[in-house]
Amino acid sequence: MALMIVESCTACDACEPVCPNDAISAGNPIYVIDPMKCTECVGAEDEPQCKLVCPANCIEQNPDWVEDKDDLLAKYQQLHG
């Protein structure tokens, strides 16, 4: 699954630079994750880097994007082909 940012985001900007897929951007008022680009960090890291650094604990699974590990890896390879 892609991840998503929920409303308790404080727009602190900690997550944006750590995403290996450039999937995170500033929104109005909260930051947003592009589900076409988020691989839960599969392909690049052992765990989601944005969740590791988020002080507000506001990054969750996106229920509209059900993908298994193979799907996420394929997405990563497509992005970084």
The Cα angle at residue 62 between residues 61 and 64, in degrees rounded to 5: 145
By the rule CB under 6 A, 39 interacts with ligand SF4: yes
Task: For 60, list phi and psi in degrees, rounded to 5.
Answer: -130, 170
Q: Are 42 and 10 in contact (CB under 8 A)?
A: no
- Site for ligand SF4, residues 14 to 33, rule: CB under 6 A: 14-15, 18-21, 23-24, 31, 33
Q: How far is the CB of 44 from ligand SF4 (least distance, A)?
A: 7
Can you tell me which of 12, 17, 27, 80 binds ligand SF4, judged by CB under 6 A? 12
Q: How far is the CB of 75 from ligand SF4 (least distance, A)?
A: 9
